[in-house]
Chains A and B, each alone.
Chain A
C-alpha cells in the first residue's frame, strides 16, 4: 500500500510504499523512535498499534522541543 507521510521535523511530505500493517511497522521502516513522535491520521491522534490502510495520510509531529 501507499502512505502519504508528512514530517514536522523535516517539513516534508512524500508518498512511500509500505508493505506491512501497523503504525509501529511504519516507524520501524522509517527508523523513527516512537518516543519522539506523535502520530496523526485525519486530524486524530492514533497509537502505534493502529492498522494502516492504502492512501492513508499520516503526520508525524516531533515530540522533542526545538531547543
Chain B
C-alpha cells in the first residue's frame, strides 16, 4: 500500500494509508488539535505528566514539551511516576523513564506506594483479595489516582496530563456500560471529572483520539526507549477481555472504536448533568484529609484492610 505521496505506507487507517513522514505529521496534528479544542494546556498552567515509562507516557511527555515550545509557552512541566511495587515490572519501565527525562531535561518525581502505604502492591493484593475478592487492578487504580492527585497538588500542578489513548477510553466506556456505571462514565472524556474542587487537580488526556496502535507506531518511529514488559496482573481484569473484543470488532468493522468515542462524546454532556444531580458534595476524608466521595476515601478503606 502506498501513501498519497507514493511512498510506502507504515499504517492503514480508516480513510487511507500514510508513509512515515505523513503519519508523524498526522499524529502530532491530531494531538495538538485535541489540546487546543478542549483547552487541555493553557499558558498559565503548571503541568504534571503522569508517567510510567510506557509508550503512551513517553509520547505525551515528548509532545507536551513540543507543544509548549511550538507555542512559545513558558509553562512549567514535570513528570510524576508512581512505583506501585510490582516485582519484575515497574523498576524496568522506571529505568527507561529516568533516562528519557534526563535526555529531554524534564524533572522526574517518583512516589513509591511502599513508602506511602507501608505495602507494595504485591504485598497488599493477597491480603485484600482474601477478604474482598478485589482484583489487583482495582487496588492499583485507587492507589495511582490518589497518589497522582495528592503529589501533583503538592507540587503545585494545575493539570495532570495522562497518556490515556482512544483504546483505553473505548474500553472504559464499554466496561461502564456492561456494569451500568453511568455516573462513573460521566467522569470520562478528554477532561476527567464532573465537579471542580480545590483538592482535585484536573486530569486531561491529549492522546484521547489516538489509537493504541498509532501511539505505539509513533513511539517506535521516534525511537523512544520503550521495552515490552508485561505487568504480571495484566490479564486479571475485565479490561483485557473488553480489549480483545474491541480489537476483534475493529478488524471486522473498521472505525468501531472511533464510533464508540464519537457516540460517547455526544452523550457526555447529558451524562455529566445527570451525574452532577446524583452526586453528593465532594467531601474531605476524615482520616487522610484528601478529597473523597464518602466520609472515608477509597484509599483509606483499603488501608483499613491491611491493618
Please list the residues of chain A having a beta carbon within 8 angstroms of any beta carbon in chain B. Answer: 8-9, 33-36, 38, 44-50, 61-67
A45-B217 in contact given A61-B228, A66-B54, A66-B89 (Cβ < 8 Å): yes
Flag if B230 contacts A66 (CB, 8 Å): yes
Q: Is the CB of A67 within 8 A of B17?
A: no
| Bound CA span A33–B217, Å | 16
Check B243 against A64 for contact (C-beta < 8 Å): yes
- What is the CA–CA distance of A47 and B6 in the complex, to the nearest angstrom? 14
When chains A and B are docked, how far (Å) is the Cα of A8 from the Cα of B228? 7
* 8 Å CB interface, B54-70 against A: 54-56
CB distance from B236 to the nearest CB of A (A): 11
Q: For A65, list chain B residues within 8 Å (CB).
A: 54-56, 212
A9 CA / B228 CA spacing, docked (Å): 7
Given known A-B contacts A38-B213, A66-B54, A47 and B243 have beta carbons under 8 A apart? no
Kindly state the separation between the CA atoms of A34 and B20 in the bound complex, as whole angstroms: 19
Contact A67 B52 (CB under 8 A): yes
Tell me which of A35, A45, A49, A64 contacts B250 (CB under 8 A): A35
Asked if B228 contacts A36 (CB within 8 A), the reply is no
Query: Nearest-CB distance from B297 to chain A (Å)?
Result: 24
Q: Which residues of chain B in 198-253 are interfacial with respect to chain A, using CB atoms and an 8 Å cutoff?
A: 212-213, 216-217, 220-221, 228-231, 233-234, 243-244, 247-248, 250-251
Within the complex, which residue of A8, A34, A44, A66 is in contact with B234, where a contact is CB–CB below 8 Å? A66
Question: Closest A-chain residue to B57, C-beta based?
Answer: A65
Contacts of A62 in B (CB 8 A): 228
**How far, in angstroms, from A46 to B12 measured CA to CA in the complex?**
10
Interface size on B, residues (CB 8 A): 32
Some 16 contacts from A to B, beta carbons below 8 A apart, are A9-B230, A33-B247, A33-B248, A38-B213, A38-B217, A45-B11, A45-B220, A45-B221, A50-B1, A61-B216, A61-B220, A65-B54, A66-B89, A66-B229, A66-B231, A67-B230
CB nearest to A35 among chain B residues: B247
Identify the closest chain B residue to A65 (Cβ).
Answer: B54
Of A9, A35, A45, the contact of B10 (CB 8 Å cutoff): A45
In the complex, which residues of chain A have a beta carbon less than 8 angstroms from the beta carbon of B250?
35
List 10 other contacts, CB 8 Å, given A36-B213, A45-B217, A63-B212. Answer: A34-B251, A35-B247, A35-B251, A45-B220, A45-B221, A47-B12, A65-B56, A66-B89, A66-B229, A67-B89
Instruction: Report chain B residues within 8 Å CB of A8.
Output: 228
* B260 at the A interface (CB under 8 A): no
Please provide the chain B residues from 180 to 208 with a CB less than 8 Å away from any CB of chain A in the complex.
none
B234 close to A67 (CB less than 8 A)? yes
Q: Quote the shortest CB–CB distance from B290 to chain A (angstroms).
A: 24
B9 at the interface (CB under 8 A from A): yes
Contacts of A46 in B (CB 8 A): 8, 10
CA distance A8 to B216 in the complex (A): 13
B residues 65-121 in Cβ contact with A at 8 Å: 89, 93
Closest Cβ of chain B: how far from A35's Cβ, in Å? 4
Chain A residues near B56: list those with CB within 8 A: 65
Alpha-carbon gap, A33 to B249, bound state (A): 10
A29 shortest CB reach to chain B, Å: 15
Closest residue of chain B to A33 (Cβ to Cβ) is B247
Say whether B10 contacts A47, CB under 8 Å: yes
Q: Is the CB of B1 within 8 A of A63?
A: no
